Each structure stands twice: as structure tokens, then as C-alpha cells.
Amino acid sequence: MSSEDGRKTRGLMLMIVAPSGVGKTSLTRRLVADHSDLHLSISATTRPPRPGEHEGRDYHFVDRGEFDRMIEEDAFLEWADVYGNRYGSPRAPIMEALARGESALFDIDYHGAMKIHAQAPDDSVLVYILPPSLAEMSRRLLARSQDSEEVIRERISRAKDELVQWETFDYVVLNEDFDRAYADLAHIYHAERRKASRNLWIAPFIDELLAEELPQL
């Protein structure tokens, strides 16, 4: 696929990492909704569908045997065991999309993002979303009423472990004000789309310019 003006480009993998309660889901869903060339990566999982979930929209639901076969065939960019179920990012559809000029957004944890970046550093962009404070993050988690106090303390502890790794990311965005954080995230995506290395039309265009015969002055 090419850009809107018909010039050939390569897409990117935009990996968004953030602790729970920072607003990552709201930011990423809006970014995807606002950009037709950006699609949310759909993971494969061995867990059964929950009420309201649909194959191919929320996850690719596979059994353990199929998942193990995909591991053996190196069909995942990354995968992990999570509370007895397996989750993984299928490689082929993502790389095919990048070749068409489309981009993939990963709502992913730190370790998954690092695994993908290690395999495809030129195609991946790492963004970490910061909370305004850990106290505010804790307040948001309590307001959701989805987790026990013990789980919330565990999430805060995990967030601290991630925060010390901030220098491994390409960009860090503070979500103190949603609109400003979204604008920062959108600017990052636009800038990365315009990197010279992802605009495959540039080299042949430069060759055309150099070969161009100028009219006599």
C-alpha cells in the first residue's frame, strides 16, 4: 500500500506501554479511530471467549495444540503465559500489513514490547505513558472497582519496576491532561510515519531528480 498521494511507504509497529489506570486504552482507541492506516494488533489466545467477544475482533481464539504449533513454527512476534492461558502476537499479518504501508498499534506490556523490539528494531516504536502521580493512578484504579486493594498494590509495584526502565523507550508521554497527551501521541505517530527510512518513494524520486535534464537557461 502507498501513502495518500500514491507514494510507496512502509508501516510501523507502534507499541504503547503503560500501567493500568493511566488511560492507555482511551488514548489508543482514539488514535486508531482517527487514523485509517493504523490498526490495533489482534492477539491469539488459548482462553475461551468472554461474553460479547468476537473472533478476529477481540482475539484470535485457538486451542493449546494450535498455539503450540504456532510457537514451533516461529509464528509469533512475542508470546507469554498469563494466568494459565497463552497470548501471542501473530507475525505474518503484522509484517504483511507493514509491507502494504499500514501500521499496527500494540496495547502491550513492557516485556512483550521489548521482545518485539529486539526482533524488529527498525519497524518498532516504543512509547511509555506516564501517570501524573502514583496516587492519582491508585485513585483511578479504586474508582474502577475492578480490582482488590491487594491487586492494586501489585499493579503499583509493577508500575514502579517499569518506571525505572523509561530510558529504553523512544518516547515518554505524560497523561496529565487527556487532550494534550493524545496530541503528543498523534504527533509521535505522524513524525514516525514520515521518517525517511519508511518512505520508500524517496530513493527513486531522488534518482529521478538527479537524472532530470534541465532546460537551457
| pLDDT (0 to 100) of residue 1 | 46
**Would you state the cell numbers that stand for residue 141, as one nine-digit string?**
484504579
What domains can you pick out in the chain, each with its CATH number?
Answer: 13-207 (3.40.50.300)
* Calpha distance 184→129 (Å, rounded): 11
Mean pLDDT within 113-128 = 96
Q: Is residue 43 within 8 Å of residue 60, measured between CB atoms?
A: yes
Task: With a cut of 80, say whether residue 217 has pLDDT above it.
Answer: no
Half-sphere exposure of 9 (CA within 13 A, CB side): 19
Q: Is residue 15 within 8 Å of residue 127, measured between CB atoms?
A: yes
DSSP H or E segment with residue 203? helix 202-211
pTM: 0.86
Task: With a cut of 80, say whether residue 67 has pLDDT above it.
Answer: yes
Q: Of 103, 131, 94, 138, nearest to 18 (Cα)?
A: 131
